[in-house]
């Protein structure tokens, strides 16, 4: 049985690597879930608007995920032979490519937010509210690219706990900022959907900083 399933040392290494990655993925999903739950208190139209605006960022995430997955293959191979220069070369190429992709999504969202929203929904009220959200949250796109690249790079080089800790901190920060900025607490004005976008943007940039 151990021939096909592995022995105890194999499973010790596998669990040590997999559990932090699984926890980080749960935290990342919670990041989006918490946004949805808090925004839902503003009404169905607002919730739909934020959801439609989020589709543009979701498309960016798909492209970044593809680039990072390809980077992981080469990074893990270089890490196995301790070729640090090769790892840095792959990281540099992926950084440039990912930031260009982020820029390609950022500029249309900044300049033509309503046109982008009309791709996903034709309701005028949804487009109006969603475009105000997208106009702010698009500034988080470079941060999303950077966070994903560094997270995948650290995972591929056997450092899986750092991305997990960073995800935990950004998720907690996002919850606090959403509570303050959406509903107006601790002397801050209630910004509604714009507060949700601002909280997401600040939390996203906190990832690379951490």
- Number of Cβ within 10 Å of residue 85's Cβ equals 8
Question: Is pLDDT above 90 for 37?
Answer: no
pLDDT at 124 over 60: yes
**What backbone phi and psi angles, to 5 degrees, belong to 185?**
-120, 165
Comparing 110 with 33, the larger pLDDT belongs to 110
For residues 149-174, average pLDDT: 87
pLDDT, one tens digit per residue, over 26-35 is 887 777 777 7
Would you say residue 1 has pLDDT above 80?
Answer: no
How big is the chain, counted in residues?
210
Q: What predicted TM-score, i.e. pTM, was given to this entire model?
A: 0.85
185 pLDDT more than 70? yes
The mean pLDDT value for 83-98 works out to 90
Query: What is the average pLDDT score of the chain?
Result: 86
pLDDT in tens, 43-88: 888 888 888 888 888 899 899 989 988 888 889 888 888 888 988 9
Per-residue pLDDT, 6: 64
What pLDDT does residue 4 have? 64
Q: How confident is the model at residue 105 (pLDDT cuts 50, 70, 90)?
A: very high
Give Dmax (Cα) for the chain. Answer: 63
pLDDT of residue 40: 81
Question: Which pair of tokens denotes residue 109?
Answer: 């969202």
d(CA 199, CA 29): 16
Predicted pLDDT of residue 103? 94
């Amino acid at each position: 049985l151990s021939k096909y399933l592995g022995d105890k040392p194999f499973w010790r290494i596998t669990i040590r690597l997999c559990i932090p990655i699984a926890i980080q993925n749960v935290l990342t999903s919670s990041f989006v879930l918490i946004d949805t739950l808090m925004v839902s208190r503003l009404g169905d139209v607002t919730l739909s608007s934020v959801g439609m605006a989020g589709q543009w960022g979701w498309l960016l995430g798909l492209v970044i995920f593809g680039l990072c997955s390809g980077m992981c293959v080469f990074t893990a191979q270089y890490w196995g032979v301790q070729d640090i220069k090769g790892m840095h070369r792959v990281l540099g190429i992926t950084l440039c490519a990912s930031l260009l992709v982020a820029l390609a999504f950022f500029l249309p969202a900044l300049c033509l937010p309503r046109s982008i929203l009309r791709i996903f929904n034709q309701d005028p009220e949804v487009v109006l509210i969603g475009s105000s959200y997208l106009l702010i949250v698009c500034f988080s796109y470079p941060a999303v690219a950077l966070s994903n690249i560094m997270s995948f790079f650290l995972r591929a080089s056997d450092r899986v706990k750092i991305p997990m800790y960073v995800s935990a901190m950004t998720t907690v920060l996002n919850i606090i900022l959403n509570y303050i900025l959406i509903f107006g607490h601790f002397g801050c004005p209630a910004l509604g959907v714009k507060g949700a976008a601002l909280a997401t943007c600040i939390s996203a940039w906190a990832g690379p900083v951490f």
